[in-house]
Structure 1
Amino acid sequence: MDKVTTDRRWNAALALGPVELSVADLDRSERYYRGSLGMELIAREGAHARFGVAGRTMLVLTEIPETKPAPSSSPGLSHVALDVPARAHLARFARHYSQSHTDGDLRDHIVSESCYVLDPDGHTVEITCGRPRDEWSWQNGLPVLVADAMTLADLAVEGLGRGQPTVGDLQLHVADRGRGAARPRGGRPRGRFVPW
C-alpha cells in the first residue's frame, strides 16, 4: 500500500470522552458489544446503554428503531478507535473475535496495529495498539502511515499486557474534501452519530 504522511498533532494532555452512536436494536447491540467486543454494560436506562471497561464509559448507544447506517458518501463517523495498552490485548481480542466472526480486518499502520470490525448497525470499531515512536517511520518530520494487511499469526505474542483501553480517536467522513467537513445545524457532524 502507498505510504502517506500526516500532519496531525495531538496534545498528549487531551483525552476523548464517551462516543455516542445510534443503533436500531439495543438488545442486539448489547449482545454484540458485551459478547463480541468484550465490553461491560455499565448502565442501561430506557433507550440508552453505556459500555466500557473497568467502570469507565467509552461508548453510549441510543436505540432509534429502524435507524440505518448513513451512506458511505455522506459526512459523519467513519470509525471509532478503542486503544488497548498492549499488543497482547490486541492479539487476544483478534483471536476471540475470529472465533465467531469473519469480518475482522487486521492492519499494520507502522505507528500502530489494528483490528477493524463492523457492529450490527454498520459502525466500524477499530481496536488498536500503538507502537513506540522509535519504531515509526518518518518522512519530513512526520510519521508515515500505511494500512498493510496482517494475519493472526503476525500477532503472535506472549503475556497478558497491563492497563485499560481508552477511546483513542474518531475519524469522520467529509462531504467535499475541497470545502472541508460539512457543518449541519449546531456545527456537529451527521451520519451515524446520535441525532442531537
Structure 2
Amino acid sequence: RDAESLAAYYRDVIGLQELSRTGGTITLGAANRPLLDIEADAAAKPDDPRSAGLFHTAFLLPSRADLGRWINHAIANNIGIDGASDHLVSEALYLTDPEGNGIEIYSDRRHEDWKWNGDKIAMATERLNISSVVADVPAGNAAWQGMPDNSIIGHV
C-alpha cells in the first residue's frame, strides 16, 4: 500500500539497500543483488489472516555472527520481535513488517553440526539462546552494517 514507508522499514530495520526505482516499484537488496520488490498500490487491502497466503519471507544471513549483529541492531533500536527459534539446523528471529507481512531473519548452522535421526535431519522448534548467538559476534565488530553481501532469500 505505502511503498515509501515500507521501503524505509526494509532499509532501516532489515538492512536492505535501495537498488532501483522503476515506475511504482522500489527494488531492495544486498550487494547489488535484488531481494525484494515493493510495488505501490494504494488500493491494496490487508490480507485476511484466515485465508491462505504468504507466511513469511526468510532472509538468510551468511553467518551466525551476522545474525548476532542483527540482534544487537534490533536491541539497540527497540525493534519488535514476534519470536526467536532454534530449529537445530538454523537459528531464526521472526517479525512482522508494517503491512502485516511476516519476516524471518536467520542463519544456518554448519552442515557438519546438524544432527541426524537415521537418514533424516533432526529439526525442531526450540527456544533460541539469544545470548549465545550474540556471544559469537567478534569483539570490535559488533555493529550491524546492513544486510551482508552474501545474504539471500532462503525461503518463502
Same fold flag (TM > 0.5): yes
- Where do 1:21-100 residues align within 5 Å? 24-98=1-75, 99-100=77-78
Alignment partners' CA distance in 1, 2:27 and 2:49: 26
Q: Is 1:111 equivalent to 2:97 in the alignment?
A: no
* Pair 1:141–1:68, CA change in 2 (3 A): farther
Once the two structures are TM-superposed, the CA of residue 89 in structure 1 deviates from its matched residue by 0.7
Report the more deviating stretch, 63-72 or 51-60: 63-72
5+ unaligned residues in a row in structure 1: which ranges?
1-23, 171-196
Alignment partners' CA distance in 1, 2:120 and 2:45: 38
Alignment partners' CA distance in 2, 1:25 and 1:71: 18
* Aligned residue pairs, count: 147
Q: Which residue of 2 aligns with 1:150?
A: 128
- Where do 1:1-40 residues align within 5 Å? 24-40=1-17
Identity of aligned residues (%): 27
Q: Give the aligned CA root-mean-square deviation in angstroms.
A: 2.0
Alignment partners' CA distance in 2, 1:121 and 1:58: 18
Q: Which residue of 1 aligns with 2:152?
A: 166
- For 1:84, the aligned partner's letter is L
**8 Å contact from structure 1 (residues 95, 152) kept in 2:** no
- For 1:165, the aligned partner's letter is S
Q: Whose helix proportion is higher, 1 or 2?
A: 2
Q: Please tell me whether Structure 1 or Structure 2 has the larger radius of gyration of its CA atoms.
A: 1
5+ unaligned residues in a row in structure 2: which ranges?
143-147
* Pair 1:110–1:75, CA change in 2 (3 A): same
- For 2:137, the aligned partner's letter is E
**8 Å contact from structure 2 (residues 84, 94) kept in 1:** yes
Q: Secondary structure at the match of 1:77?
A: coil
Report the more deviating stretch, 44-53 or 140-149: 140-149
